[in-house]
Amino acid sequence: MKKIFLTGLAAVLALPVFIACNDNIPDDLSFDNYKNLWLITAGKSDKATTEIDINGAIDTVFSIAGMRYGGVQQPVGEVTASLAIDLSLVSAYNQENGTDFLPAPAGSVSLGEASLTIPGSGFISNPFTLNVKGSQMEYGKTYLVPVTLSQSNSLQIDESRKTAYVRINRNRYGRVDEIAFINANTTGWWTFDDTANLFKATVGQDITGGYGTTTYGDLDFNYTEADVCEGPSSTNGAVTLPYNSFLHVRHGITPNGGGANVNQYSMLLDYRLAGTYYIPFYNTDMTNANEADLFENGRAYTIYQDSYWYGDPVDYYNYTAAVIVLNQWQRMVVTVDLVNNTFSIYHNGQFVQTFSDATAFAIDGFQSLDPAGVLLGADGTGLTGEIDFAEVRIWNAVLTAEQVALLGTVGNVPQ
């Protein structure tokens, strides 16, 4: 006991010496200089964040620790301070911390309280609530929500700890989320089920028929009208494009990927072929002067892509492993990501292969879409033939393999 007592006494006796030797003590020792407010979850030098996960397209409410008082005396009376979201701080946060968080989309987050209150003689306020609409956030993205204190009724606010940064991870969550993504990112969808209005769009703009003429060598081709044909079932209609016909599809996607064209997209085609020639699926050249981007290879009955006549530095072509069965309805999905120089193809619900070429699949290059649309069944070099379509659907996103698998085979609409 004596040892403990003497140690404590020595510490007390040493205290005045320590203070006397400190040259940094301010002249003004007023208690008011040591009273301030801060948010409990705010970082100081490291700008710490509160991290929350949103799993699925859900709207939810999170409770987050509120405001704290710090000082050498208890506050007298009730202390309040205003609370607000300030998304303008996200850019500076990213720059200072080497991150790339996105500001939460407008309307996706809100506070349950406009101010926080510390009761008289207390030190901590009530928590604040953050309302998050996961349905308005993009899957797979990470967002930052700065929440800031201001305008206290009686005390100063600690500038270094006035802002709490809430990090929101918008995760994918199973089938429901994937289907929601598929539906939300559809910009054009045509099913050809209404014989009275064959080209009516389920999503996007109605299709217009083939038009004009094109010249290749000494040949001049006139375009004829598309017409109704028997579809995959009695409730699943279709359209047939006769020889030298095409359809102008307005996909509704604005240029993306940093170019003048659409460089990231996906497209579904439910199709049927009877011929054995090089029949085009689509042409991304809206003047229809170039060769189509994707064909039936009539010699091997596979899907074939070729950039010849497209102006690429080299003639790029590939015979894919997707096998075509003549006179049978089949579903093809292509996903194009020219930001990452890739083109992927799926056939009848199955992944076939991904092609990668930095020269051919460059921004605004082969397989990029003109903002004005895409031409179904078109080719500017005379390689045309009869082709039937039962469904066409376009997305302004690069679908994942899991999402394409949900699309399944001909006629399937994931629920």
DSSP string spanning 208-241? B---SEEEETTEEEE----EEEEEEETTEEEEEE
CA dist., res. 107 & res. 83, Å (int): 17
Query: What does the pLDDT read at residue 221?
Result: 46
Q: What is the CATH T-level fold of the domain 23-171, as seen in this structure?
A: Immunoglobulin-like (2.60.40)
47-51, 76-80, 254-258: lowest mean pLDDT where? 47-51
pLDDT band with cut points at 50, 70 and 90 for residue 208: confident
**pLDDT at residue 3 is higher than 60:** no
Query: What does the pLDDT read at residue 201?
Result: 96
Query: What does the pLDDT read at residue 153?
Result: 87
Query: What does the pLDDT read at residue 216?
Result: 41
pLDDT band with cut points at 50, 70 and 90 for residue 72: low
- Burial class of residue 1 (count of CB atoms within 10 Å of its CB; 0-12, 13-18, 19+): exposed
Query: What does the pLDDT read at residue 309?
Result: 40
Q: Across residues 395-408, what is the average pLDDT?
A: 92
Query: What does the pLDDT read at residue 163?
Result: 93
Q: Across residues 305-318, what is the average pLDDT?
A: 48
Residue 15, H or E segment: helix 2-21
Both tokens of residue 123? 């030190």
Strands (E), 217-349: 219-222, 227-233, 236-241, 247-249, 264-273, 280-283, 294-297, 302-306, 317-323, 330-337, 342-347
Sorted by sequence, the CB contacts under 8 Å of residue 308 that are 6+ apart come out as: 291, 315, 316, 317
- Burial class of residue 105 (count of CB atoms within 10 Å of its CB; 0-12, 13-18, 19+): middle
Both tokens of residue 414? 């994931």
Both tokens of residue 112? 């349950």
**What is the DSSP code (8-state) at residue 33?**
G
Q: Across residues 63-76, what is the average pLDDT?
A: 80
Q: Across residues 320-344, what is the average pLDDT?
A: 90
pLDDT band with cut points at 50, 70 and 90 for residue 129: very high
Strand order in the sheet with 128-133: 59-64, 128-133, 109-111
Contact 376, 249 (CB under 8 A): yes
108-112, 358-362, 410-414: lowest mean pLDDT where? 358-362
Cα 213 to Cα 102, 220, 245: the distances in Å are: 48, 7, 10
CA dist., res. 280 & res. 304, Å (int): 9
Contact 35, 70 (CB under 8 A): yes
Q: Across residues 99-128, what is the average pLDDT?
A: 92
CA dist., res. 242 & res. 385, Å (int): 7
Strand pairing of 342-347 and 330-337? Answer: antiparallel
12-16, 145-149, 389-393: lowest mean pLDDT where? 12-16
Reduced to 3 states (helix: H, G, I; strand: E, B; else coil), residue 45 is: coil
pLDDT band with cut points at 50, 70 and 90 for residue 28: very low
What are 142-178's pLDDT values in tens digits?
999 999 999 888 888 988 899 999 999 987 667 778 8
CA dist., res. 172 & res. 178, Å (int): 7
pLDDT band with cut points at 50, 70 and 90 for residue 260: very high
Q: Across residues 130-146, what is the average pLDDT?
A: 88
Both tokens of residue 306? 């070729």
- The residue written with tokens 């301010």 in the block is 26
User: Among 264, 284, 252, 256, which residue's Cα sits nearest to residue 370?
Assistant: 284
CA dist., res. 387 & res. 326, Å (int): 11
Q: Report percent pLDDT > 90 for the chain.
A: 43
Sorted by sequence, the CB contacts under 8 Å of residue 37 that are 6+ apart come out as: 67, 68, 69, 70, 79, 81, 118, 149, 152, 155, 156, 157, 158, 162
338-347, 349-358, 365-374: lowest mean pLDDT where? 349-358
Strand pairing of 387-395 and 156-157? Answer: unpaired
Assigned CATH for 176-407: 2.60.120.200
- For the chain, give the mean pLDDT: 81
Contact 365, 316 (CB under 8 A): no
Strand pairing of 36-39 and 156-157? Answer: parallel
191-205, 209-223, 389-403: lowest mean pLDDT where? 209-223
The ranges of the chain annotated as CATH 2.60.40.1740 are 23-171
The ranges of the chain annotated as CATH 2.60.120.200 are 176-407
Residue 184, H or E segment: helix 174-184
2-6, 10-14, 105-109, 196-200: lowest mean pLDDT where? 2-6
